[in-house]
Amino acid sequence: MRRAGLIVGETLTALRQMVAPGVTTQDLDSEAERRIRAAGATPTFKGYHGYPASICASVNDEVVHGIPSGRKLQDGDLIKIDCGATLDGYVGDAAISVLVGRVSPEVQALVKATQESLFRAMEKMRVGNRLFDVSYAVQEYVEERGYSVVREYCGHGVGRRMHEEPQVPNYGRPGTGPVLKEGWVLAIEPMVNLGRHQVKVDSDGWTVRTRDGSFSSHWEHTIAVTENGPVVLTAREDGTIDL
């Protein structure tokens, strides 16, 4: 799983470096697919329940599952890039939020808080903790700052398939839920809105966006529970994670 995750981590870093005004989300998708296949892996998302691309590219009020298109990124946009790779039968799944040019301070703060909530959740991924300790870590951190947590979409177990048990909501009651065991691997993925939590799905059947039109941030990593604490399987070669 580390080898699958490494491809995802390195691909996302390359895509971050491509992001600029004028670049299309389809440009990002093509480069992702090229890199994943060059590494000997396959893009997990392509064909998943009929999904047509290798990444999800969700801009501004789009929360997740935006389909790459000819849309050109513009100064002030916030793009969330979600990427999965399957290697030797195992899946890595991660997502980053990237600012395009000059973005408002409010949106910068949202992105930072969402990323920090993922780190807080990861810290709870220790043998003997409960699943909703992880969930609550996201909820507590972002709600304290006035943001809202998307309810309809969750993190998940990941392994030979992208979506395995258990579901990992980004909200929940601490001290409850299944006990975390060594060897569990979870994709933790806070989806956090600047405004209200409600979302809707576009007529394309995929794109999820905020009902109130507010910006949303999304971060995700594939993380293992080990006896030495959490290990990020979608980290880069040098062990760092995207910032």
- Binding-site size, ligand MF3 (CB under 6 A): 10
Give least dist CB 21 to ligand MF3, A.
Answer: 25
Interface stretch with ligand MF3, choices 48-56, 143-151, 168-176, 222-230 (CB under 6 A):
48-56
Give least dist CB 74 to Co ion, A.
Answer: 27
Q: Which is nearer to ligand MF3, 52 or 128 (CB)?
A: 52
Q: Which is nearer to ligand MF3, 175 or 224 (CB)?
A: 224
Q: Any residues with CB less than 8 A from the CB of 117 and at least 6 apart, and which?
A: 137, 138, 141, 142, 170, 190, 192
Give least dist CB 106 to Co ion, A.
Answer: 26
Q: Which is nearer to Co ion, 110 or 188 (CB)?
A: 188
Give least dist CB 235 to Co ion, A.
Answer: 16
Pick one of 8, 31, 45, 171: the residue that binds ligand MF3 (CB under 6 A).
45
Give least dist CB 177 to ligand MF3, A.
Answer: 19
Pick one of 93, 150, 225, 235: the residue that binds ligand MF3 (CB under 6 A).
93
Q: Tokens 């991924």 appear where? A: 125
Q: Which is nearer to ligand MF3, 56 or 199 (CB)?
A: 56
Binding site for ligand MF3 (CB under 6 A): 45, 48-49, 51, 56, 65, 82, 84, 93, 187
